[in-house]
Amino acid sequence: MSYAGVPEVTPAEAAARVGEGAVLVDVREEDEWQAGHAPGARHMPLSRLQQDYRSLAPDVTIIAVCRVGGRSAQATLALRGVGYDVVNLAGGMQSWAAAGHPVVTDDGGAGTVI
């Protein structure tokens, strides 16, 4: 699903951009993050984005991700509104996992998307 006015990337494009230095910012809630997330992703729940976004490097591309793309689309628009280079991961963590990209827990074990 696409969101009007929100630039998106596919899981393959996201993985390539992360390999080039982009940062995945996971805006899901704590229980979702604990169940599983992309390796190297940074956890910043949408509910705390307003308070925490300044800790993001302003000169790095950010790829926002949630479960299916709705919350991360909101985060993308909000962060773009304050000058960050942000794109949304189309389909969220569900599409990331379906494309065969790893999902891990904090201890490095196999994770799941909830």
Rounded-to-integer distance, Cα 25 and Cα 32, Å: 13
66, 86, 97, 113: which one is catalytic?
Answer: 66
Cα-based distances in Å from 33 to 2, 5, 26, 41, 114: 23, 27, 8, 10, 9
Known catalytic residue: 81? no
DSSP three-state, residue 52: helix
Which residue is it, tokens 């992309």? 38
DSSP three-state, residue 44: coil
- State the catalytic residues: 66
